[in-house]
Amino acid sequence: MKKFGFLFVLITLSLALLLASCAKTVKVANISEYLTNISDLNADDSVRIVGLGEATHGNVEFQTLKKEVFQALVQNNHCRVFALEGDFGGCQRVNEFVQTGEGTAEEAAAQIGFGIYRTKEMADLIRWIRDFNAGAQEGDKIRFYGFDMQRFDNNKAGLFNYLEKVDAKTCAEYKTFFADLNDETVYDQDKEKVKAGKESAQKLITLMTANQAQYVSLSSEKEFVLALQYAQCIGENATLQTSSASYAQLRDQYMAQKVKWILDYEQAGMIFIAGHNGHIDKSSAAYGYTSMGKYLSDEFGSGYFAIGTDFYNTTFRAVTSGGEVKNFTLKNSNVLTEQFINLDGNVFYLSFKDAEKNDTLNGILNQRLTMGSVGSEFNDWQKINGSFYTLQMIPRKSYDGIIIVKDATPTVVAPLN
């Protein structure tokens, strides 16, 4: 009976998608008039956070867009903070590289914590930031952050480097207390050991807060606050691994808090954040949890400017549930992506503010569409039905602009040299 029910749902979804694909697409006349060159992207002065989503983690074009959009904000809005859906501690290692130049961009990218970032495109972005900083005054340099917390090792290293300086005895104690929290066993460590590590993190945060004046006198306020965030990340990751609450819900909540922490820590007029569409989205289109973007939109209103992405054709790199890394090919034809297939070029940015000038285009953006959405894991069986690699969403409710990639190509792993 359960098998029949699953097949019925699958057939219904397939028919719905087939009918949708057969519907005649209304073409927007002169759509190129409403497009903006990415280099000309300029956020309003009231915007504090610009978010860029990616429809997949495994395409060259979406990774390249991180650099291109950020470069525009650096030039046009004097944005000097880049934050990524990457490990907080690992991205601090990247920040050390872009400030000092010690090591290589490829080695720095490998520290971010996820294989999806070990690419030529990410190394190019990191190298560009390093080159920019090499010619910038101290107060005008770009800083690099991560707002995820799913790794332990680099957060522990950053924390212990600080504690060794201000409280060597406590440092030695917590090296023992956190010994079972590590990247190698992050998802399969004995839960009782992880719970013990979580409790130790909570105790350490309390101890550090109580000793703040003493620690700051031996370091600085900024160093103390950063070290406290390392401890916070350790506790949050341990909580993710042991909590009965929704992993996705809790993670997005933590990520939103970390984005706000970065904004406050840097005292920045504007920061740029990049992650999967599902996290950047302001409407929580992914059913079952509140997205990071929804949290940010609720708090900052129009001060949070979200840019989504979608593809028409894509061949992307992903890892299967069995651990194999391979390429997959998909097509996502909807009334929005089809507007661009006959235009010259491959990447198109549409600001929804500009789209309001055309009633037909504005109407498309205010209807529910099937938009591409692929995570870091994908399997061949998911290709059988679009519901496994798309989300039903209303673009205008989810984003403030969108970038369409006509033909997206797969990333490859960058060698460490």
- Mean residue pLDDT of the chain comes to 94
Q: Do residues 288 and 392 share a domain?
A: yes
CA gap 161, 106 in Å, rounded? 23
Let me know if residue 133 belongs to a domain: yes
- Centre a 10 Å sphere on the Cβ of residue 150 and count the other Cβ atoms it contains: 22
CA–CA distance, 208 with 214 (Å, rounded to integer): 9
CATH number of the domain at 227, please. 1.20.1440.30
pLDDT in tens, 330-375: 999 999 999 999 999 999 999 999 999 999 999 999 999 999 999 9
Alpha helices for 267-351 (secondary structure H): 277-280, 292-300
What mean pLDDT comes out for the span 208-226? 99
Both 368 and 310 in a single domain?
yes
Position 50 in a domain: yes
Average pLDDT (35-45) is: 97
What was the pLDDT predicted at 1?
41
pTM: predicted TM-score of the whole model, two decimal places: 0.93
Is the pLDDT score of 25 beyond 90? no
Domain membership flag for residue 3: no
Residues 238, 180: contact at Cβ < 8 Å?
no
Q: What is the mean pLDDT of residues 247-261?
A: 97
Yes or no: say if 134 and 123 are a contact pair by the CB < 8 Å rule.
no
Average pLDDT over residues 271-281: 97
Strands 81-87 and 271-276: parallel
Tell how far CA 100 is from the center of its chain.
25
For the chain, give the longest Cα–Cα distance.
Answer: 71
pLDDT digits (tens, 9 = 90+) for 280-329: 999 988 767 899 999 999 999 999 999 999 999 999 999 999 999 999 99
3-state secondary structure 69-118: HHHHHHHHHCCCEEEEEEEHHHHHHHHHHHHHCCCCHHHHHHCCCCHHHC
In a domain, 14, yes or no: no
**In the predicted model, is pLDDT for residue 195 greater than 80?**
yes
Residue 2: pLDDT over 50: no
Domain assignment present for residue 176? The answer is yes
- pLDDT tier, 22 (very low <50, low <70, confident <90, very high otherwise): very low
pLDDT at residue 98 greater than cutoff 90: yes
Same domain, 83 and 60: yes
Contact (Cβ atoms closer than 8 angstroms) between residue 121 and residue 67? yes
Q: What is the structure's pLDDT at 280?
A: 98
**What is the C-alpha separation between 206 and 228, in angstroms, rounded?**
10
Q: Output the pLDDT for position 21.
A: 46
Same domain (yes/no): 380, 295: yes
Same domain as 272, residue 216: no
Looking at this protein, which amino acid is placed at residue 80?
R
Per-residue pLDDT at 397 exceeds 60: yes
- Supply the range of the domain harboring residue 177: 153-247
Q: Are 402 and 31 in contact (CB under 8 A)?
A: no
| Torsion of the alpha carbons at 43, 48, 53 and 57, rounded to the nearest 10 | 120
- pLDDT, residue 168, reads 98
Q: Does 318 share its domain with 396?
A: yes
User: Residue 200: pLDDT above 60?
Assistant: yes
Which structure tokens are listed for 231?
């401890």
- Based on the domain organization, do 290 and 370 belong to the same domain? yes
Mark whether 54 and 126 lie in a shared domain.
Answer: yes
Provide the CB-side half-sphere exposure for 343 (13 A, CA): 23
Do residues 310 and 381 share a domain?
yes
Structural domain count of the chain: 2
Q: Does a structural domain hold residue 20?
A: no
What percentage of residues in the chain have a pLDDT greater than 70? Answer: 94
> Percent of the chain, pLDDT > 90?
90
The verdict on 208 and 240 lying in the same domain is yes
**Whether residues 217 and 270 fall in one domain:** no
Residues 198 and 229 in one domain: yes
How does pLDDT run across 133-182, given as a tens digit for each residue?
999 999 999 999 999 999 999 999 999 999 999 999 999 999 999 999 99
Q: Quick check: 162 and 216 in contact, CB under 8 A?
A: no
